Structure formats: C-alpha cells, structure tokens
Structure 1
Amino acid sequence: MTQTRSRNLAKTIPGLLVSAFFLWYTFRGIHPSAFRALSLVHPVWIAGVIGFTLVGYTLRCVRWARMLQSTNARFATCARVLMISLAANNIMPLRIGDIMRIFTYAPDLGVAPSAIFSTVILEKLLDVFVVGLIFVRTMGADLPRNIRNGADAALLVSVAGLLVLMFGAGKLEMPVRRFFSALPRNKLVDKLEHWLLLAITTLRQMGVRGNVVLLLQSFVIWFCEGMIFVSAIHLVGLQTDMLGPWEAVSFANLSYMLPSSPGAIGPFEWAVKTALASHGTPRAMAAVFGLAIHAWMLVSVTGAGGLIFLIHRLRMHKHTPLLEEIETLPTELP
C-alpha cells in the first residue's frame, strides 16, 4: 500500500506543477482591480447559468444510461454513478472517478467492468469529437497558426474515424484485429487493441439508429455547456463577439487533455483567457472570467456529485473511508 501511495504521489506532483505554471502564466501582470471589476451586471442570466447546467448534466446521465440499456441498468443508478465519478475526477488525481465508475460501482449497475469501460471510451470519443468540431469552427484569428493547423487536421481525422466507427461498427472487428496483428506485440499495443474492440462492441450493440441518437445527444449536451458560458458572459457583461463563448467552452474542455491537477486547474483558465482574447475580450477580464466560470463548474458538479455520494453512503450504512476503498481499486484498466 505504501508503494502504491508513493507511485501515485510521484504521478500527481508533476500535474500540480503544471497547474501552478499555467496559473502563473495566465494571471501574471493582472492587477487585483481586475478581480474586483467582475460583477453581476444582468442578474437575470443567473437562471441561464443554473438552468443549462442542470439540463446539460441531466442529459449526460441520459446518454450514459442509453449506452448501458442492453444491460438493463436503472437510470437512477446510472445517474448516481456518473455524477459521483465526475465529482471525484474534479477533486482526486489520476482520473480516479472514471476508475471508480468502472470498478467500484460495477456491482451496483450489475454490469461487468469491461462493459462499463467500453461506454467510458465511447463517451470520451463523442465528447472530443463534438468539442473539437466547435473549436475548429469558432477559432479566432489571433490563435497561433500551429494550433489552428493542428486542430484542422485532428478534426478531419476524428470525423472520418468517428463516422466509420458509428456506421460501420458491425464490419470493423476483423479489420481491426488484422491491423493490430501486423504490429509488434507489446503491452501498449495489446491494451489499445482491447480498448478499441470494446468501443466497437458497444457501437455494434447500439445499432446505427442508436449511434445516431448518441451523437445527437452529444451535440445537445455541448450546446447546453456552451450556453452556460453564453449566460455567464451576459451575466457579467463581458465584451466579446458571438463566437467567443463557444471557442472558450471548447478550448477549455480540450485543455483537460493536458496533464495537470484534478479539474484542469490552470490550463482551463489559460484556455478561456486565450479564446476570449482572440474574440475581443480584454485579456485581464478574460482571465478573471475563466477563473469564475471554472469555479462555478467545479463547485456545481462536485457539489452535486458529492451530495449524491454522501446520501447514498448514509442510506447504505457504509462507513468504510473513501481513501481505503480507493486503495483497493485495481492499478490497471480492464
């Protein structure tokens, strides 16, 4: 157990350093008066921030329950497990929330960990695809050319790959097996093959119609996420154009791919600042807004997931400390 904790600490410290660097880089030179200048200019938009947050995360629960519909998992259980895992990801390192969703709560769902993992892969693929599409379509001219070119190329590859996966899943298993069989065998190649086949299996079980529904749900989810930013920008009266909030929400969520502290603290604020500044927002106010909207996302999602977690533990009379439960989790994904 001591060795496991030491390895986890060694993996966590670099992420904390990355977050510290991005926070310094984002807020360097910003006068404290910029923080005081952020105020609720149009309070009516509070309803938009809260409403779109509720709708967006409810739809995430609906989408994940749909991915598990062949297992007969109950919607209430799916919603509870998903919200707890999102909250855990925000406050604990190494994506512990996803690990808990796959292993800790598999008995609650009555589903094998490998089947749950396949839905997590599919969930990430859909989210990255939609977020990438929004980012490429809303990029401001001030963003560095290498970011713009890289985003265009990544979008083309992801569009082609996702369309093939969603509409040709039933015929992909053998070509994928032949492709990986031609590669030098090692642990990473074996894992990649296994994970891709899991996602293909889930898509095949959903069918073309089910896959289209999942894609549409993903677009609606990220529309709601974007409207949280739109509402918040109107709430504080921030200067930007129509595309600013959409680039901010997409770039901020893509920043989660950077290794950092839980919740992408640091990279998220930098991404929001960079995106909004490319659409006419003063850089200081863009940075302060990034901090404020990130605080809302972390507090609302973590608070909801944490409350659900505590209520469930009290109802189940479960008193094992959470950190002890985490120590028993497998060290590798299925």
Structure 2
Amino acid sequence: MAGKTPFYKTKTFTLTAGILIAVVCMWLAVRPLFDNEDAWNQVVNAFQQADYRSLPLIWGTLIVFYWLKAWRWRIMLAPVGNYRPVKDLLPPIMIGFSLNNVLPARIGEVARCFVFSKQQKVPFSVAVSSLVLERFFDLIAVLFYLGIGLVFIEGVDPKIQQQAWVLAGLSVIGVFTGLAYVMFTAPFVAFVEKVAHSLRIIPHGLTDKVCRLLEKGAQGMSALKSARLVFFMLGISLVKWGLNCLLIGLSLWSFGLPTNPTIAMVLTGVVAIGVALFPSPGYFGVMQLCFAAVLLLFVKGEKGEAAIFASSIYYHMTQYVPVTIVGLIYFVKSGLTLHEVEEKKEERDLVKAATPEIA
C-alpha cells in the first residue's frame, strides 16, 4: 500500500504557498507607492504616456528567443534523434511555459517532457536529461550577464562590484566544470561522489541522489563529446539571454526609465534568480519585486516609482499573454490532458529536483 503523501507535496500546500509568495512579493513591490496618495493615478498616467512602439520589437525578439531555445534543444537531443526545431520541439517548449504560467508546482516542465516523449516516442528520462543540461547552460549565461552588469554598473557600492568579480570568476569555472561533466561524465561523477562522501556533514542518501541526477543529466548525451558543440550551446545560451536583456531594455525605454545596458543585465539576472527561488504562479509578484529592488537604486521620486511598477507589468504581460495563448493552443492540439501529466508523480518529483526554473 502506498504511503501517505507528505502535506508539503500536496496540491493544496503547493498552491497555497505559491499564492502566498505572489501576494507577499507584490505587496513589497507596491509598498513604496502607499506613501503617495496620487500613486495609482501616476501608474495609470505612466501607461497612458508609455511609448508602445516597442511592442512589435518585443514580440519579434520573443519569437527569436524561443526559436533559439528550440534550436539549442535540438543540439542537446542530437544523440537520440534529428528533430526539427519548430515543428517537433517548439510545441513542447511553449506548452511547458504556458502551463507554468497558469498552474503551480512547475507542472509545465513535466508537461514539456511528457508531450515530447509521447509525440516523439522516446523515453521520458531522455527529455529530463536534456532539461538538466539546458538549465546548466541557462545558469551560466545568467551569471555571466549578472556578473558583467555588476562589475561595470555605476552608482552601486564598490564592495558589490568586488563581489561581482568573484561571481564572474565562478561563471568561468562553471563553464569548464560543465565541459568536464559532459565530456568525462563517469570520472566526473566518481570524483563528486568521492568528495561528497569525504564530507561527513553531507548525508549519504543526498550524495547518492545528486550522483544519480548527474548521471541522468548525461544520459543520452554521449555524442556531445565535442568541445565545439558545447561552446556552440553556450553561445546560443548567451545570445538567448542577451535577447532577454534587450526585452527588459525595451520595457524600460517605453516608460522613460534608464536604459543603460548594465542595468538591464543586472535586472535580467535578478529576475531569473528570483523566479527560480520563489516560484509563484505565473511569476506574479516576484517579477514586480525584482524590478523594484533593482531600479529603485537608480530611479528616485514618486513618478519614478510608478513608472517602475508600470514597466514591470508591461515586461511581464507582453510575454505572459502571447506565450500562454500559443502554448495552450499547442496543448489542445496535442490531444493530451492535464490528468495524464499529473499522473507522472515520480517523474514530476524528478523534474522538480533536477531542473530548477530559470525564467
């Protein structure tokens, strides 16, 4: 007889926690506006005076962003098949992001793997392994832009800039660690296991789980033993996240806020890390708090606070709406149901453990 599901793994807890995170983060984001009686009128005025010529540029950039994401996934899956980026891979990607936008517990990641495995008739674990590798390259790219932004940004504490050099160095180390992981998986995992077991403070069960995840991440990646291919994937990741910096820059420009590239880089990193650490449904609240936390360092005044909040909504919704609509259309066309996805309980836990969401 199956054991009772722990309360913290139930849908009720997950949904409640996600909503609570969204409410708290949104309250913290709008709190500076409470001191100004005319704040909400200023938010409305910010939307009325915004320059919406950025909208087609944002949507065009968004198309290229997801196209690159599909192409990178194609390279990662090359060992198991020759998939078409737009026809075979883009639908599962959009389905995953759309369901993450409307459902808690990152069910979209499970749906993405499930849809791909069903449509292409490949093991579910193959899709999961590619997502592990994908998240790794995303993390490196995010840390790269965050580090560069913090190093060269003006008007911040010099101590923060010094710490940014450390972050940039860690990004470089991460690149070479990833190369070692992909190209020399067996000895790499053996080394990690040996080091972890030598540290008595780390439980053996946790060590074994981490090593299994590492092995799972390399499963099906045996053909990616070429440093050229790995650097190619890294290059795509950097371009993709550079486009995300552009999306933020366009949103700031629309509301007359500073468009310094270093600010956009820092904000990109903070948003990516924020939504990974605090997974609220649709990223509501978290996105707005990240904008406020970064931009209030450079923008002063009541009108500036209103413009920051308005720009965060603009950046969020110009992606949320089209991605959700396109993804749900693909999901309906797939013929699959949410019930089928939710039945993959063990796989869901594996995906959640192996693929922390990076925006």
Residues 59/209 of structure 1: CA separation in 2 closer, same or farther (3 Å cut): same
Alignment partners' CA distance in 1, 2:156 and 2:306: 17
Alignment partners' CA distance in 2, 1:161 and 1:219: 14
Indicate conservation of the 8 Å contact 1:90/1:263, yes or no. Answer: yes
Instruction: Using the TM superposition, give the Cα deviation of residue 201 of structure 1 relative to its aligned residue in structure 2, in angstroms.
Output: 4.8
Q: Secondary structure at the match of 1:38?
A: helix
* Deviates further, 84-93 or 186-195: 186-195
Indicate conservation of the 8 Å contact 1:126/1:218, yes or no. Answer: yes
Counterparts of 1:97-176 in structure 2, within 5 Å, are 97-139=108-150, 140=153, 152-166=165-179, 169-176=182-189
Q: Does 1:53 align with 2:70?
A: no
Query: Structure 1 residue aligned with 2:287, among 257, 268, 285?
Result: 268
Match of 2:354 in 1: none
Instruction: Using the TM superposition, give the Cα deviation of residue 205 of structure 1 relative to its aligned residue in structure 2, in angstroms.
Output: 2.2
Instruction: Using the TM superposition, give the Cα deviation of residue 21 of structure 1 relative to its aligned residue in structure 2, in angstroms.
Output: 0.9
Alignment partners' CA distance in 1, 2:181 and 2:27: 46
Instruction: Using the TM superposition, give the Cα deviation of residue 123 of structure 1 relative to its aligned residue in structure 2, in angstroms.
Output: 0.9
Instruction: Using the TM superposition, give the Cα deviation of residue 150 of structure 1 relative to its aligned residue in structure 2, in angstroms.
Output: 6.3
Q: Which runs of 5+ in 2 are unaligned?
A: 34-38, 352-359
Alignment partners' CA distance in 1, 2:159 and 2:127: 36
Indicate conservation of the 8 Å contact 2:251/2:314, yes or no. Answer: no
Match of 1:298 in 2: 320
* Deviates further, 296-305 or 47-56: 296-305
Query: Structure 2 residue aligned with 1:38, among 46, 55, 75?
Result: 46
Query: Structure 2 residue aligned with 1:280, among 289, 299, 306?
Result: 299
2:214 maps to amino acid: L
Query: Structure 2 residue aligned with 1:194, among 212, 218, 238?
Result: 212
Residues 149/287 of structure 1: CA separation in 2 closer, same or farther (3 Å cut): farther
Match of 1:14 in 2: 17
Q: Secondary structure at the match of 1:28?
A: helix
- After superposition, give the CA deviation of every residue in 1:288-329 in whole Å (9 maximum; x if it has no partner): 21122112221121122112212333xxxx6xx52x223311
Q: Secondary structure at the match of 1:17?
A: helix
Alignment partners' CA distance in 2, 1:144 and 1:34: 30
1:164 maps to amino acid: T
2:268 maps to amino acid: V
Q: Does 1:24 align with 2:27?
A: yes
Alignment partners' CA distance in 2, 1:158 and 1:290: 27
Query: Structure 2 residue aligned with 1:236, among 239, 255, 261?
Result: 255
Match of 1:333 in 2: 350
1:49 maps to amino acid: I
Match of 1:81 in 2: 92
Alignment partners' CA distance in 1, 2:162 and 2:12: 36
1:86 maps to amino acid: F
Query: Structure 2 residue aligned with 1:312, among 326, 329, 334?
Result: 334
Match of 1:63 in 2: 72
2:294 maps to amino acid: A
Instruction: Using the TM superposition, give the Cα deviation of residue 330 of structure 1 relative to its aligned residue in structure 2, in angstroms.
Output: 2.3
Alignment partners' CA distance in 2, 1:129 and 1:66: 17
TM-score by structure 1 length? 0.86
Alignment partners' CA distance in 1, 2:20 and 2:209: 29
1:72 maps to amino acid: G
Instruction: Using the TM superposition, give the Cα deviation of residue 153 of structure 1 relative to its aligned residue in structure 2, in angstroms.
Output: 4.1
Q: Secondary structure at the match of 2:350?
A: coil
Indicate conservation of the 8 Å contact 1:241/1:280, yes or no. Answer: no
Indicate conservation of the 8 Å contact 1:84/1:308, yes or no. Answer: yes
1:44 maps to amino acid: R
Q: Secondary structure at the match of 1:111?
A: coil
Indicate conservation of the 8 Å contact 1:273/1:286, yes or no. Answer: yes
- After superposition, give the CA deviation of every residue in 1:151-185 in whole Å (9 maximum; x if it has no partner): 65454334213223225633342242243146266
Alignment partners' CA distance in 2, 1:26 and 1:142: 22
Query: Structure 1 residue aligned with 2:102, among 84, 91, 94?
Result: 91
Indicate conservation of the 8 Å contact 1:99/1:333, yes or no. Answer: no
Instruction: Using the TM superposition, give the Cα deviation of residue 142 of structure 1 relative to its aligned residue in structure 2, in angstroms.
Output: 6.0
* Deviates further, 36-45 or 250-259: 36-45
Alignment partners' CA distance in 2, 1:5 and 1:37: 48
Q: Secondary structure at the match of 1:71?
A: coil
1:57 maps to amino acid: Y
